[in-house]
A = this chain, B = another copy of it.
């Protein structure tokens, strides 16, 4: 290739884009772990419509924003959010440095192995545990600790690594959307710095496309070396009505596709599907006690009630784990 004008560059780009688009549209089974049925059809119809220039529902590539909740949507969340499992392990590891915890709740109950009593203090107790386990160290050190935990800790029920409990059908969906020019984002109530440690490797979602809850941080220079240290103060809670706020703040553009599983995702789906153009809202329904868990209205974690009642009226798709997914974990 010896000529190099903007026109030539443009021609190469067009050729590449066309080649990729044709490959993508042929990808009849980009979703092999999804059973044929209404849910799969709704997804593929939407993707074909939004990526076909002649279609009334066409969406230009720059606007193809798809947002995914994480806990219960991209990976499992029972019996406790995996980040809480991390926090509990971290509290145990830190105990030698905190003799006072033996007398102090929620740590005392936690160290006796009584999780229920530890969490009886509600939000305040959870916050204490999160701050003790997530703050007071640099971003680099925190990342290393999370990475180490993810590489070794095992889920109490399945014995798998936690990253082995991501949902195979969702991995396929993320890849299928990206192959069709969608930019995929995580929009989670979980901590953004926790999620970023594995999101790229596991989901193919780079750090800059992860929106989550956060604690404040400070910038300091020690002996010429700058450090960012995590502080024991909440910065932002990316849950419920916080999700559209987080989307506006971090993405700055209204998504066209939103996928969640609990009432914590209600506003995210609402914000996405009341947009003037084409949109798709989806909810994973955990109805598979054999392969995963079955829970909805009464669950403390991943409660889904309003979404079940109002979702169908709003045209949202309820994805049944039991019926729609051929496989659950990879």
Task: Spell out A's residues near B (CB within 8 Å).
Answer: 1, 4, 8-9, 12-13, 15-16, 19-20, 22-23, 26-27, 62, 65, 139, 179, 183, 185, 192-193, 196, 200, 206-210, 214, 217-219, 221, 224-226, 228, 235, 241-242, 244-245, 248-253, 267, 270-271, 274
Q: Is the CB of B274 within 8 A of A219?
A: no
Which B residue sits closest to A29, measured CB to CB? B4
Q: Is the CB of B248 within 8 A of A139?
A: yes
Given known A-B contacts A226-B271, A252-B192, A27 and B13 have beta carbons under 8 A apart: no
Of the A-B pairs whose beta carbons lie under 8 Å apart in the complex, a sample of 7, sorted by A's number, is: A1-B26, A62-B200, A192-B252, A208-B209, A208-B251, A218-B241, A225-B274
Q: Which residues of B contact A27 (CB under 8 A)?
A: 4
Top 7 closest pairs, chain A to chain B, by CB: A207-B252, A16-B16, A219-B241, A4-B26, A208-B251, A196-B252, A207-B253
- Interface SS of A by simple majority: helix
Q: Is the CB of A23 within 8 A of B12?
A: yes
Which B residue sits closest to A275, measured CB to CB? B226
Given known A-B contacts A207-B251, A226-B244, A250-B208, A19 and B12 have beta carbons under 8 A apart: yes
Q: Is the CB of A274 within 8 A of B226?
A: yes
Q: Is the CB of A219 within 8 A of B245?
A: yes
Q: Which residues of B contact A8 (CB under 8 A)?
A: 23
Q: Which residues of B contact A1 (CB under 8 A)?
A: 19, 22-23, 26
Given known A-B contacts A1-B22, A23-B9, A219 and B196 have beta carbons under 8 A apart: no
